[in-house]
């Protein structure tokens, strides 16, 4: 898990792009709020996921609101969701 995601947060969805080198995690927090974060995976990093933005600081009241914001802010995400 990324150093930008708290261990108490529950990732309920993880979506990768077609190349499998980008990922968005959608998560819930113990306080009932929701959020998301985008990650990249580079071969030189040993295949680990590295956060690429500071989206996890934003708080949303619903999972749907977090998902909608992620889709708006992460350019490749809408296409990846249509492939599911």
Segment 5-23, tens digit of pLDDT:
899 999 999 999 999 999 9
Distance CA 55, CA 36 (A): 6
Residue 37: strand pairing partners: 25
Residue 1: the pLDDT is: 44
CA distance 32 to 60: 9
pTM as predicted: 0.90
29 in Cβ contact with 8 (< 8 Å):
yes
The residues facing 25 across adjacent strands are 14, 37
pLDDT in tens, 27-80: 999 999 999 999 999 888 787 899 999 999 999 999 999 999 999 999 999 999
- Residue 45: the pLDDT is 76
Query: Does 24 or 44 have the greater pLDDT score?
Result: 24
């Amino acid at each position: 898990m990324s150093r930008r995601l708290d261990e108490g947060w529950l990732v309920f969805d993880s979506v990768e792009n077609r190349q499998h080198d980008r990922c968005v995690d959608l998560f819930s927090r113990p306080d009932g709020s929701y959020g998301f974060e985008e990650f990249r995976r580079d071969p030189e990093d040993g295949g680990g996921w590295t956060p690429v933005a500071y989206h996890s600081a934003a708080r949303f009241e619903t999972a749907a609101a977090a998902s909608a914001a992620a889709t708006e802010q992460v350019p490749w995400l809408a296409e990846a969701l249509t492939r599911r």
